[in-house]
A and B are shown apart, each in its own frame.
Chain A
Amino acid sequence: MKPLSLTARVSLLFAVVVAAVLLITGVLIARAVEHHFADEDHQEMLGKLELVRHLLARAHDQADLDALSQELNDALIGHPGLSVAVIDNHGQIWFATTAAAFPSHLLETHEPPGTLEQWAANGTEYRGIAMPVPVDGAPYTVALSVDIRHHDMFMAEFRRILALAMALAALSTAALGWMAARQALSPLKAMARTATSISADKLSERLPVAGAPDEIRALAEAFNAMLARLEDAFRRLSDFSSDIAHELRTPVSNLMTQTQVALARTRSAEEYREVLESDMEEYERLARMIGDMLFLAQADNHMVVPHRETVDLADEVRRLFEFYEALAADRDVRLVLDGEAQVSGDRLMLQRAISNLLSNALRYTPSGGSIGVRLASDGETCRIAVSNPGPTIPARHLDRLFDRFYRVDPARREGGGHTGLGLAITRSLVEAHGGTIQAVSGDGMTRFDIMLPCRRPAARQEG
């Protein structure tokens, strides 16, 4: 079943609550009114009883009693619903107004005297009281009753109006609740409309935040922040594809040009060999780039560290120094290692990560400078800092250094083994180990800091 809309739920809840409250109130009012009527009847009858008793108290013999009958009739005139009966000590009705009909239980068990009773006779509701009254020393009983048909009619009408009012109130509350909920939720609808219209080419759109209630504003702001992250990732990705195209264009156009020139006329075997050799260099460049890009694509699909062991970072750095020794000597650059640290990780991956940083540092260190690798560990986090003298990198470039193909100076395209993916690969490798990397630059020094958890992370979040 389709779940009810929020608006419907809110209005339904309003209606139910209001109806329940009104129902309870209505029942209480109806009971109070009824009780009030009963009380009023009781008081009236007690008054009349007092009158009858007073009259009876004056009678001392049969003649007095006979005269009293007329007096009683007079006293009770103008009370159409009221009936009075006086019963003597033998159970005989001594005096009764017309239409008086009393149930026997009222006359026999008037304990305590004057208790209000209610009964029905011939389709009419009555209330009545009875009380013993001594007449000339004999225990007579006086009974009174009122016809409460008009009360009942009033109560029925009262209940009908009450029910109608309650129904109307419940309905109008539901309607008001519906309107209020719709009004309150209308920013959500606006957000949904905007969200529907957002597609890959319109990622710069944002949900309206101004004027939205607090609860919805938090949602809209979270949604907008997500859009901003998506937009950024999307922009980087699309930059990446255009960069790939750009990077591939140069070697491919070299290949085409030199091959076409070679084919334009017949050449000597030596010349053909030269073309093939030159082609080979471009192919190698392409192959390297493809290899690096595949590696990164894999890294995007949560790369795992396949083979963990305890890696002595100082050992690895020394081995890398041996590798870069010739290049450093050639450029008159010194390589300096300081400190030590051990981490749990894949030796080959960590070696590659540090190797890329060294290769990068060697490219920018001026002749006579020295590249420092400083290792430190506090038992929790291992820090690998690779620093080199070189031109200060403006702060706005520092974060993007790890983007694929990102170059501080776009005009600078390097040949050799550099695909422009080295730092991106380093970051992926570090992140696969649960670490972070950042670059700082200033006062003619650039430093890359890798922070790695020393021990194997207890439970790594996958995917």
Chain B
Amino acid sequence: MKLLIVEDEPKTGEYIRRGLTEAGFVVDRADDGRDGLDLAMTGGYDLVILDVMLPGLSGWEILKALRAAGHELPVLFLTARDQIEDRVRGLELGADDYLVKPFAFAELLARVRTLLRRGKQAPAAEMLAIADLELDPVRRRVTRAGQRIELTPKEFALLELFVRRAGEVLPRALIASQVWDMNFDSDTNVIDVAVRRLRGKIDDGFEPKLIKTVRGMGYRLDDASAE
């Protein structure tokens, strides 16, 4: 997967590049608007991360030019201001997602993965399984070690998100957005409590423990015994 990041602040740009590279992506970086547009037009990228405030061309102008030239690649933009007008404008211009600075890197990574996965998701009908946990998205049934586990609809949605994105760190804000469609800085306690209750149902009394807390980042579901 090849990504382009257009960001003029050197430290921010470099850390994002490094983080994404370590997460397994091929990453190019441009530090002004014109170079960014040239690269985005010709580089054959899978996704572009655009800062709004850029020297040369603004993020909006790059986005407009890209869409006008018929490039449909996903665009995630970064804005320094929590302006609702910015959000609306970006989405109207055809951006796919946005993040307000300051943001957590885990959040950026999770959103990049969400965008890249879009349209390529495993068919909903498929049974999902990890370790001895099985999840049937159609009949909305969960079993662990053959035992049926009763979940509320939202607990089921949360578990399905974890299983589908097994191995990825999911930040709290992403969970709130994907499971509950809460797209603002909501009460993070809620996520902690919801995850704790889910754990109580699927991990308590079972081994290995599947849901792990990644301190300072979020939660991750994986099968440690499989590694």
Nearest neighbor of A355 in chain B, beta-carbon distance: B186
B23 interface hit (Cβ, 8 Å): no
The interface residues of chain A, by DSSP majority, are classed as helix
**A277 contact set on B, CB distance < 8 A:** 215-216
Query: What is the CA–CA distance of A278 and B215 in the complex, to the nearest angstrom?
Result: 8
Q: Which of B100, B153, B155, B190 has a CB less than 8 Å from the CB of A291? A: B100
Binary interface encoding of chain B residues 185-227 relative to chain A, with 1 for a CB under 8 A from any of its CBs, else 0: 1111110011011000000000000000001110000000000
| A298 contacts B82, C-beta separation under 8 Å | yes
Fill in one digit per residue for B91-129: 1 if any A CB lies within 8 Å of its CB, else 0: 000000000101110000000000000000000000000
* Closest CB in chain A relative to B102 CB, distance in Å: 4
A348, B88: Cα distance in complex, Å? 12
Q: How many residues of A contact B (CB 8 A)?
A: 40
In the complex, which residues 284-318 of chain A have their Cβ closer than 8 Å to any Cβ of chain B? 284, 286-288, 290-292, 294-295, 298, 303-304, 306-307
Q: Which residues of chain B are within 8 angstroms of A304 by Cβ–Cβ distance?
A: 85
Q: Is the CB of B215 within 8 A of A322?
A: no
Selected from B84, B85, B217, the residue in CB contact (under 8 A) with A280 is B217
Instruction: Decide if A280 touches B189 in the complex (CB within 8 Å).
Output: no
A326 touches B190 (CB 8 A): yes
Contact A294 B215 (CB under 8 A): no
Q: Decide if B42 is an interface residue (CB 8 Å cutoff).
A: no
| Contact A417 B187, beta carbon cutoff 8 Å | yes
Q: Determine which of A283, A294, A323, A329 lies in contact with B186 in the assembled complex, contact meaning CB atoms within 8 Å.
A: A323
Are A306 and B85 in contact, with the CB atoms below 8 A?
yes
- Kindly identify, within residues 51 to 92 of chain B, every residue whose CB is under 8 Å from any CB belonging to chain A: 81-85, 88
Give residues 145-187 of B contacting A (CB, 8 Å).
Answer: 152-155, 176, 180-187
Contact B216 A319 (CB under 8 A): no
Task: Report the Cα distance A323→B184, complex, angstroms.
Answer: 13
**Per-position 1/0 for A390-433, Cβ under 8 A of B:** 00000000000000000000000000111000000000000000
**How far apart are the CA atoms of A323 and B194 in the complex, in Å?**
9
17 pairs, CB–CB < 8 Å, chain A vs chain B: A277-B216, A278-B215, A278-B216, A280-B215, A284-B216, A290-B102, A291-B100, A319-B180, A323-B186, A323-B190, A326-B154, A326-B197, A330-B196, A351-B182, A359-B186, A416-B188, A416-B189
Q: Name A's B-contacting residues (CB within 8 A).
A: 276-281, 283-284, 286-288, 290-292, 294-295, 298, 303-304, 306-307, 319, 322-327, 329-330, 346, 348-349, 351-352, 355, 359, 416-418
